[in-house]
Chains A and B, each alone.
Chain A
Amino acid sequence: MWMTVEVNGHIYEREVAEHWTLLRFLREDLELTGTKDGCSAGECGACTVMLNGEAVNACMVLAVEADGATVATIEAEAVDGELSEIQAAFARNYAVQCGYCTGGMVMSVRELLRRNPKPTIDEIKEGIEGNLCRCTGYQQIIEAVLDVSGQLTTETKGELRYV
Chain B
Amino acid sequence: MNEIFKYRAPTSRAELLALLADHGDGARVLAGGTDLLVDIRSGLVEPEMVINLKKVEDLPGLAWSESEGLLIGPATTVNEVMFDAKVRNWYPLLADCALTLASHQLRNRATVVGNIAHASPGADMAPGLLCLGAHVVIASQGNQREMPLKDFFTGVKRTALRSDEIIEAIVVPPGRAGARGSYRKLKRIEGHDLSLVGVALTKNDGALRVSIGSVAPTPLLVEGLHEDDSADSVVAAVREVIKPIDDLRCSKEYREYMVEVYVRRLLEEVA
The contact string, 1 if C-beta is below 8 Å from chain B, for chain A 122-134, is: 0001110111000
Report how many residues on chain B are interfacial, defined by Cβ distance under 8 Å: 29
Report how many residues on chain A are interfacial, defined by Cβ distance under 8 Å: 32
- For chains A and B in complex, what number of residue pairs have CB atoms within 8 angstroms? 85
Nearest Cβ in chain B — how far from A158, in angstroms?
21
Residues of B close to A48: CB separation below 8 A: 105
Interface of B is mostly: loop
Task: Decide yes or no whether B237 CB sits under 8 A from chain A.
Answer: no
Q: Which of B100-133 contact A (CB under 8 A)?
A: 102-106, 108-109
Structural contact, A65 and B4, CB atoms closer than 8 A: no
Structural contact, A62 and B192, CB atoms closer than 8 A: no
Interface of A is mostly: mixed
Task: Decide yes or no whether B2 CB sits under 8 A from chain A.
Answer: yes
Cα–Cα distance between A19 and B7 once the two chains are bound (Å): 8
Nearest Cβ in chain A — how far from B56, in angstroms?
13
Structural contact, B52 and A126, CB atoms closer than 8 A: no
Task: Decide yes or no whether A61 CB sits under 8 A from chain B.
Answer: yes
Residue of B nearest to A130 (CB): B103
Structural contact, B34 and A42, CB atoms closer than 8 A: yes
Structural contact, A41 and B54, CB atoms closer than 8 A: no
Residue of A nearest to B40 (CB): A19
**Known contacts A60-B33, A65-B54: does B104 contact A111 (CB below 8 Å)?**
yes
Structural contact, A40 and B41, CB atoms closer than 8 A: yes
Cα–Cα distance between A77 and B190 once the two chains are bound (Å): 30
Q: Which of B6-35 contact A (CB under 8 A)?
A: 6-7, 9, 30, 32-34
**Known contacts A42-B102, A60-B109, A129-B104: does B5 contact A18 (CB below 8 Å)?**
yes
User: Which of B5, B102, B108, B192 lies in contact with A55, CB distance below 8 A?
Assistant: B108
Residues of B close to A112: CB separation below 8 A: 104
The contact string, 1 if C-beta is below 8 Å from chain A, for chain B 118-152, is: 00000000000000000000000000000000000
A-B contact list, 10 entries, CB within 8 Å: A18-B7, A19-B3, A56-B105, A57-B34, A57-B105, A57-B109, A65-B9, A111-B105, A112-B104, A130-B192
